[in-house]
Amino acid sequence: MIEKITSLILRKKRYLFLFAILLAIMSLWGATRIHIEDGARGIFASSYPEYFRFNDHKAEFPQADSEIVVIARSGESFDRPQLEALKEFMLDAQLVEGVESAYSIFSIQDYDREADDFVNLISDDLTVYADMSVPLNLVEQSNWQILTLLNAEHNQTVMVFSVEEQLVDSKTFQPTIDELESLIQETSTDSNLELEITGSLPLLSLIVNRIIAEQGLLNAIGGILGALMSLILFRSLTIGLLNGIAPIFAVLLTLGAMGWLGLEMNVISNSISILILVITMANCIHMTYELRGNTTAGKGRDDSIREMMKAIAAPCILTSLTTIAAMASLFYSDSDLIRNFAMAAIVGLFLSMFAAIVIHPLVYAIAWRFPIVRKALTREPKTEDRWSNGFTNTTRWLIRRKSSVVILSILFAVLLLATFLPIQSTHRFNEYLYDDEPMILALKRAEAISSPTQSLNIILRHDGNDPLLSNANLDALTKVHNTLERSYPDYDIYSLHNLRRAMQKTGDAGNAEDVTAFLDILPDRGRAELIGLQESAFKISFRIPDQPAQDTRRLIADIEAQLARTDTSKLTVEPINGITALAAHLSDQMIKELTISFLIAAFICPILIGIWFREWRFGLAAILPNVVPVLIIGAWLMASGWRLQFTGAIALSIAFGVAVDDTIHVINRLNINRRKKGPGFTTEDLPAVMRHVAPALITTTLVLSVGLSSTFFSEMPTVVYFGTMCMAIFFLALLADLFMLLPMVAILGVQPSKK
């Protein structure tokens, strides 16, 4: 097959060039069709029962993550013009399409006994107040200010806007955010106020915008850095530029395929393009090393390219297949988002393989006509002999002590595995953004005034035939609510009981009839927030800060134990629900699934190596040099307390699949040398293998790492985290291949070549 591909490249260069141009045009068009998602919510879409329970819960109760928060700040206590500006802002904002309801200091009401109705606490006409501290004090002292909206200094206030659920579900809330931001800008300019938008939806919108903005930037930086490293190592600008063509083409094909296949881009899959870029570049560099060796030996274009393809194309195919196997192991995950990532990565890897074994040799077949290219390829390397001799001597020394190397490697792997297991995971909603992000800081300021936006939802279900709003049920709700407030005084807890308590403080009995009458005047969303659309359950909103998932799981377990000891009369306590509870439970399960995916890949890839080379010893020898680097990183994460995040768990499988590539190139060179020497090949010939391949291994590792260093330019910490983990594993894998692989082969015994 390789011979046929090579002949096609050499004989049909022009037709292949035109075909490549057509593919590029189609890919550019396809790339414009890519759907961008934040992924922060969708990552938990799965077949787990918790997810189905959450969907049922979401259909009945409005969710806190469908809100937009605006915080207004002034240098001093709000004056009349500023309050007028804020009042006008609220009136305009409530008319924005998609805003279902709004809550601010101007929407707080008080009960007018004479009129037997509720009226606005702050008068619509602010000129009735000679001093603006009067209405602000009314807000601060009101029993009906259930959710705190004003700070003690009266110079900061929070406004909350609820967005229609269907817009959130269909991801079409961006126009609503854009219009609110326009109003914010206009109000800030005219009123000497600083208004900032934050909350769950703006944060998700920010993540999407970052993904879009960074795709081109990170790939461009990665490509430039990779080409620069190739330039330095080959000491030729021409080779550096030519080596960058196929990788860029692979990225373009991948993005186009994602668009045409409907594969979305999100916080998980936004790393695929840079990954495809560096993997393709690494394979191209291996091929260029071989090509330059052929040309310096005096071979012409066709012979040089044929020999390059004969020696390197097959291992490039195998490296792609092992990385594809590592990506396919991610299908073990139950997350639709992670499976989407696996599918996109597999498609990209197939296209990367096409770029490496077709486009890259095609580039050199066409460029050969230029003297500058021929001159660059025939330039003798000046420093590789020194490198090669050093690795030859080191390998010889290690092979003489092969038993000690293997025993120490096994013991080290066992120690690492014991540290890595049991796996400890962590997850936070806001882990996709830095803590000093302006929108995160605005959220913290708003939560300091009001309450956290994340919520654990406690549902007290009434299954009887009589109405939910009975005195007995309200008393049971009061008992549960008060118990939680006593047990957790540092947390904000909201339910229908807050309103009932306010009614009682103002002189009403707060019985079922009074509560029903009050609920009848609430907006539909406010009513559903308290008793659900079906009006068959009470919802208690237990607000918590953004914190690691393991802390939330402990809190949930403690709350549920507390509820089990509380008499709820005829009300049934359901498992704690909501997106925060869902994330706390499923993030742990899904991250552990991803780790199992890595273990599956660690089992499959050596088998593929053994089958490909028809030598089980090669597959067995490949296990430890590739597993140990990943275990080192995993053990460090556990021992340091960093734990494993989604992106880190995915990085384990990806980095393992890529790290195996160097092992394959070592074994491929070993196999070539073994075939050439025949039955006389022994362990004494192993150092010559490393002499030949070590410079290329170092070069490709440098290119991979320098290319991935573009992730350091990302404004998303998870992208930086992913790049750092992959780079660390690549370097450790290089060391493992240089110092562990051939001693493993030696102790298993070198067998005659199987023709």
Name the residue type at position 121.
L
The residue out of 335, 359, 382 marking a domain boundary is 382
Record the tokens describing residue 559, joined without a space: 């709350």
| Pair (376, 241) in one structural domain | yes
Rounded to 10°, the helix 524-531/496-505 angle is 100
Q: Which of 728, 719, 662 has its CA nearest to residue 221?
A: 719
Q: 228 and 239 in contact (C-beta within 8 Å)? A: no
Q: What pLDDT was estimated at residue 696?
A: 79
| Pair (255, 316) in one structural domain | yes
Read off φ and ψ for residue 40, nearest 5 degrees. -65, -30
- Mean pLDDT comparison of 58-67, 118-127, 604-613, highest-scoring range: 604-613
Q: What is the dihedral of CA 83, 87, 90, 95, to 10 degrees?
A: -150
Q: What pLDDT was estimated at residue 751?
A: 65
Domains: count for the chain: 3
Read off φ and ψ for residue 121, nearest 5 degrees. -65, -45
CB-based contacts of 359, cutoff 8 Å, min separation 6 = 20, 245, 246, 249, 250
| Pair (453, 573) in one structural domain | yes
Q: 694 and 269 in contact (C-beta within 8 Å)? A: no
DSSP 357: I
pLDDT in tens, 508-555: 777 888 888 888 888 888 899 999 999 999 999 999 999 999 999 999
Q: What pLDDT was estimated at residue 753?
A: 59
224 pLDDT higher than 60? yes
Q: Is residue 68 part of a domain?
A: yes
Record the tokens describing residue 320, joined without a space: 């792609």
Lowest mean pLDDT: which of 47-51, 118-122, 475-479?
118-122
Give the count of alpha carbons within 13 A of 591, CB side only: 23
Q: What pLDDT was estimated at residue 16?
A: 92
Residue with the bigger pLDDT between 485 and 273: it is 485
Chain centroid to Cα 441, Å, comes to 21
Q: What pLDDT was estimated at residue 680?
A: 79
| Pair (490, 527) in one structural domain | yes
DSSP 358: I
The residue out of 577, 599, 622 marking a domain boundary is 577
CB atoms within 10 A of CB 741: 27
| Pair (239, 375) in one structural domain | yes
Position 255 confidence tier, pLDDT thresholds 50, 70, 90: very high
CB atoms within 10 A of CB 733: 29
Q: Which of 103, 102, 96 has its CA nearest to residue 167?
A: 96
Q: State the chain's maximal CA–CA distance in angstroms.
A: 108
Q: What average pLDDT does the segment 22-32 reach?
A: 94
Q: Is residue 672 part of a domain?
A: no
For residue 688, list its beta bridge partners. Answer: none
Q: 474 and 500 in contact (C-beta within 8 Å)? A: yes
Q: Which H helix or E strand runs over 279?
A: helix 272-296
Position 752 confidence tier, pLDDT thresholds 50, 70, 90: low
Collapsing DSSP states into helix, strand and coil, what is residue 622? coil
Collapsing DSSP states into helix, strand and coil, what is residue 456? strand
CB atoms within 10 A of CB 534: 12
Q: What pLDDT was estimated at residue 241?
A: 84
pLDDT in tens, 563-574: 999 999 889 999
| Pair (181, 265) in one structural domain | no
Q: Is residue 699 part of a domain?
A: no
| Pair (315, 183) in one structural domain | no
Q: Is residue 399 part of a domain?
A: no
Distance CA 423, CA 335 (A): 19
Name the residue type at position 489.
P
Q: What average pLDDT does the segment 587-614 reach?
A: 88
Give the count of alpha carbons within 13 A of 346, CB side only: 16
| Pair (262, 360) in one structural domain | yes
114 pLDDT higher than 70? no
N- to C-terminal Cα distance for the chain? 17
Chain centroid to Cα 625, Å, comes to 27
Position 225 confidence tier, pLDDT thresholds 50, 70, 90: confident
| CATH number of the domain encompassing residue 160 | 3.30.70
Q: Which of 250, 264, 267 has its CA nearest to residue 344?
A: 264
Read off φ and ψ for residue 70, nearest 5 degrees. -120, 130
pLDDT in tens, 263-297: 888 877 887 888 898 889 888 888 998 898 899 88
614 pLDDT higher than 80? yes
Q: Is residue 517 part of a domain?
A: yes
The dihedral sign for the CA sequence 49, 55, 60, 62: positive
Locate tokens 């009006």: which residue?
535
The Cα-based distances of 547 to 113, 310, 359, 429, 575 in angstroms read 44, 54, 48, 8, 20
| Pair (239, 376) in one structural domain | yes
Q: 458 and 572 in contact (C-beta within 8 Å)? A: no
| Pair (69, 35) in one structural domain | no
Percent over 90 (pLDDT), the chain: 50
Average pLDDT along the chain:
88
pTM, 2 dp: 0.84
3-state SS, 673-734, equals HHHHHHHHCCHHHHHHHHHHHHHHHHHHHHHHHHHHHHHHHCCCHHHHHHHHHHHHHHHHHH
The residue out of 332, 350, 382 marking a domain boundary is 382
Record the tokens describing residue 504, joined without a space: 């009682």
Distance CA 740, CA 624 (A): 8
Percent over 70 (pLDDT), the chain: 96
| Bond preceding residue 695 cis, omega within 30 of 0 | no
Q: Is residue 706 part of a domain?
A: no
Q: What average pLDDT does the segment 344-370 reach?
A: 94
Q: Is residue 561 part of a domain?
A: yes
582 pLDDT higher than 80? yes
Q: Which of 488, 549, 478, 540 has its CA nearest to residue 515?
A: 478
Record the tokens describing residue 186, joined without a space: 């206009």
Q: What average pLDDT does the segment 387-402 reach?
A: 84
Distance CA 162, CA 94 (A): 10
| Pair (31, 69) in one structural domain | no
Q: What pLDDT was estimated at residue 113?
A: 64
CB-based contacts of 658, cutoff 8 Å, min separation 6 = 275, 279, 282, 323, 704, 726, 730
- Mean pLDDT comparison of 333-342, 345-354, 375-384, 428-437, highest-scoring range: 345-354
Chain centroid to Cα 88, Å, comes to 40
Antiparallel, parallel or unpaired: β 67-73 and 156-163: antiparallel
Position 410 confidence tier, pLDDT thresholds 50, 70, 90: very high
pLDDT in tens, 367-389: 998 999 888 888 765 555 556 67
Q: What pLDDT was estimated at residue 98?
A: 93
Q: What pLDDT was estimated at residue 137?
A: 92
Lowest mean pLDDT: which of 180-184, 410-414, 712-716?
712-716
- Which domain range does residue 286 map to? 1-45+235-382
Antiparallel, parallel or unpaired: β 571-573 and 109-112: unpaired
Q: What pLDDT was estimated at residue 375?
A: 87
| CATH number of the domain encompassing residue 34 | 1.20.1640.10
Q: Which H helix or E strand runs over 157?
A: strand 156-163
Distance CA 139, CA 298 (A): 88
Collapsing DSSP states into helix, strand and coil, what is residue 457? strand
Q: Where are the alpha helices (DSSP H) in 421-548?
A: 438-449, 471-487, 496-505, 512-520, 524-531
149 pLDDT higher than 90? yes
Distance CA 313, CA 287 (A): 8
Q: Is residue 468 part of a domain?
A: yes
Distance CA 296, CA 298 (A): 5
DSSP 158: E
DSSP letter string, 69-94: EEEEE-SSS--HHHHHHHHHHHHHHT
The Cα-based distances of 330 to 2, 255, 427, 592, 721 in angstroms read 30, 20, 19, 11, 19
| Pair (41, 67) in one structural domain | no
